[in-house]
Amino acid sequence: MAEIQAIAKRIIENVEKVMVGKRKSVELTVLGLLCQGHILIEDVPGVGKTMLAKALSRSVGCQFQRIQFTPDMLPSDVTGVSVFNQKTQEFEFRPGPIHAQIVLVDEINRATPKTQSALLEAMEERQVTVDGRTHPLGPPFMVLATQNPIEYEGTFPLPEAQLDRFLLRIRLGYASKQQEIEVLDRQQYQHPIETIVQEVSVEELLAAQTAVRGIYIDDLVKEYIVDIVRQTREHPDVYLGSSSRGALAIYRLGQARAAVDGRDYVLPDDVKALAKAALGHRIIVGPAARIKDVESEQIVQEILDRLPVPGAQVKPPA
Per the domain annotation, does 315 fall within a domain? no
Nearby residues of 191 by Cβ (< 8 Å), 6 or more positions away = 18
Per the domain annotation, does 87 fall within a domain? yes
- What long-range pairs does 71-79 form, CB within 8 A, spacing at least 24? 71/110, 71/111, 71/112, 71/154, 73/111, 73/112, 73/115, 74/114, 74/115, 75/114, 75/115, 75/117, 75/118, 76/130, 77/115, 78/115, 78/118, 78/119, 79/118, 79/122, 79/128, 79/130
In this structure, the answer to whether residues 287 and 179 fall within a common structural domain is no
Of the three residues 180, 208, 236, the one that is the final residue of a domain is 208
**145 pairs with which residues across the strands?**
40, 105
In this structure, the answer to whether residues 63 and 112 fall within a common structural domain is yes
Per the domain annotation, does 268 fall within a domain? yes
**Domain range holding 197?**
2-208
Q: In this predicted model, what pLDDT tens digit does every residue of 213-236 receive, in sequence order?
A: 999 999 999 999 999 999 999 999
In this structure, the answer to whether residues 159 and 14 fall within a common structural domain is yes
Alpha carbon distance 43, 47 (integer Å): 7
Of the three residues 168, 190, 208, the one that is the final residue of a domain is 208
Backbone angles phi and psi of 240, in degrees to 5 = -140, 120
* Mean pLDDT calculated for residue range 236-242: 92
- Is pLDDT of 152 > 70? no
In this structure, the answer to whether residues 292 and 165 fall within a common structural domain is no
pTM of the model: 0.90
In this structure, the answer to whether residues 64 and 82 fall within a common structural domain is yes
Average pLDDT, the chain: 90
In this structure, the answer to whether residues 182 and 245 fall within a common structural domain is no
Domain count of the fold of the chain: 2
Q: In this predicted model, what pLDDT tens digit does every residue of 193-208 receive, in sequence order?
A: 888 889 999 999 999 9
In this structure, the answer to whether residues 187 and 220 fall within a common structural domain is no
